Structure 1
Amino acid sequence: MPTSTIPDDLREDVETLWNFHRIDDPLRPVDVAIGLGSHDPSVAVYAAQLYTKGLFPLVAFTGANAPTTVERFPRGEAVHYREIAIDAGVPDSAILVEPKATNTAENFEFTRELLQEHGTPVATALILSRPYQQRRAYATAKKLWPEVDFLCSAIQQPLTDYVESIGDHKRVIDMLVGDTQRLTVYADAGYAIPQEIPADVTGAYDRLITAGYDSRLIPTA
């Protein structure tokens, strides 16, 4: 049964990956926010909080479904994010929905096309994602959309509170491990700009795999 408690013997390694993947740029006004779909509804809640502060006039939610999201968001991640944001005070006129993307590259490719169709010029954009998706999202966005000045942010919660909000420590750790692997795999494949991975992050990653947190790894052979 899933629990929201990180085992004590893993906490330091989990914290290392968590801190590495968070970017949390200082916030300033941008042309648009891009909310990346996932199992995590906090992306839409946080987007609404920042919209009400006047940081952007428009938010584009992007995402179809994945095996990890179809039960929670059966009509699609971006569709449900839109509803969450409206309930939190964002007017429908300030929201665009991109409902087809099934991976991070498509999130940015399809959102760029949508914004072009909408006639919205984009020089600056704020990527809103799961807290631990920030680094991979940024690396992908800069590869596919290099002319845009991207900032990254996510709901401001410490690791313990975030895991409790998700209610499944294994899912969070598995995703942290998977995103760490993808930084290298996707950069090698030309899908993302390279990121320097410090030795302490590599060590934590290896130990968490050894401990069995490997369900989100992708085959590389």
Structure 2
Amino acid sequence: MISAQNWSDAHTLWAFQQVGHEPRPCSVGIGLGSHDLGVADATVDLYRRGMFPLVVFTGATSRTTEGRMPKGEAEHYRERALELGVPASVILVEPNARNTGENIRFSRSLLDDQGVHVSSILLVSKPYEERRAYATARKLWPDVEVVSASTGMRLEEYVDSIGDPRLVLDMLVGAQQRLLLYPELGFTIAQDVPDDVVAAYERLRGAGFISRLLAE
């Protein structure tokens, strides 16, 4: 049973984990691999709006995607984009990354190898990964402007799209844990985390939404 307090806390994390950037034209769009094909859809939408001339899809497989995306997350994203009418000539695929840091580093290396000059990147991720994607890119690629975006869904819409409310809350808690831990590990830039966000995270963690937590 998910209580009213649980949902209130989930909304607090959801709001914090989205950066609130207004999408603007960038050198390249980078769709970060995951279980969610909505990331590919959002990347296509931004491409159609003229936000970037070139797309990189990045991602191998993980325990949550190997069954649904056996060709690799980036390749399934590419296929989705082609189905939606994006020209193959503007899509690059990075098939090896297995975490957000590798998404950024391997995409940067791929673009360097292709001779693409990059002054700004528009990162497209799941809604609850916007802030970590931004913080990771700022740490690993500090000389470019970073804009973070997602599908723009409300929490309720995202829960409906996934079909598993408890899993979504577990993922929110796991994402927040990483936002708290990763600066100390050198994976992301440090960010101010409001007290109410920390309190919401701790209540959800105490309520048992822990399947996506890292061992500490």
- Provide TM-score, normalisation by structure 1: 0.95
In structure 1, which of residues 169, 172, 175 is the aligned counterpart of residue 168 of structure 2?
172
Q: AA paired with 1:201?
A: V
1:68 corresponds to: 64
2:159 corresponds to: 163
The gaps in structure 1 that reach 5 residues or longer are: none
**Superposed CA offset, 1:160-182 (max 9, x none):** 01110111112211111111111
**Superposed CA offset, 1:97-129 (max 9, x none):** 000000110000100000011111110110000
Secondary structure, counterpart of 2:122 in structure 1? strand
Distance (whole Å) between structure 1 residues aligned to residue 78 and residue 103 of structure 2 = 15
The gaps in structure 2 that reach 5 residues or longer are: none
Secondary structure, counterpart of 1:127 in structure 2? strand
How far 1:9 sits from its partner (Å)? 3.6
Distance (whole Å) between structure 2 residues aligned to residue 157 and residue 167 of structure 1 = 14
In structure 2, which of residues 117, 120, 124 is the aligned counterpart of residue 128 of structure 1?
124
Is 1:52 the equivalent of 2:41?
A: no
Distance (whole Å) between structure 2 residues aligned to residue 116 and residue 73 of structure 1 = 27
Distance (whole Å) between structure 2 residues aligned to residue 195 and residue 217 of structure 1 = 20
Aligned length: 216
Secondary structure, counterpart of 2:7 in structure 1? helix
Q: AA paired with 2:13?
A: L
- Provide TM-score, normalisation by structure 2: 0.97
Would you say the 8 A contact 1:37–1:64 is kept in 2? yes
Please tell me the root mean square deviation across aligned C-alpha atoms, in Å.
1.2
In structure 2, which of residues 194, 197, 201 is the aligned counterpart of residue 205 of structure 1?
201
Q: AA paired with 1:40?
A: D
1:215 corresponds to: 211
Among the aligned pairs, what percent are the same residue?
A: 50
Distance (whole Å) between structure 2 residues aligned to residue 49 and residue 10 of structure 1 = 32
**Superposed CA offset, 1:142-173 (max 9, x none):** 11000010001100211101110111112211
Distance (whole Å) between structure 1 residues aligned to residue 70 and residue 170 of structure 2 = 23
Distance (whole Å) between structure 1 residues aligned to residue 87 and residue 14 of structure 2 = 33
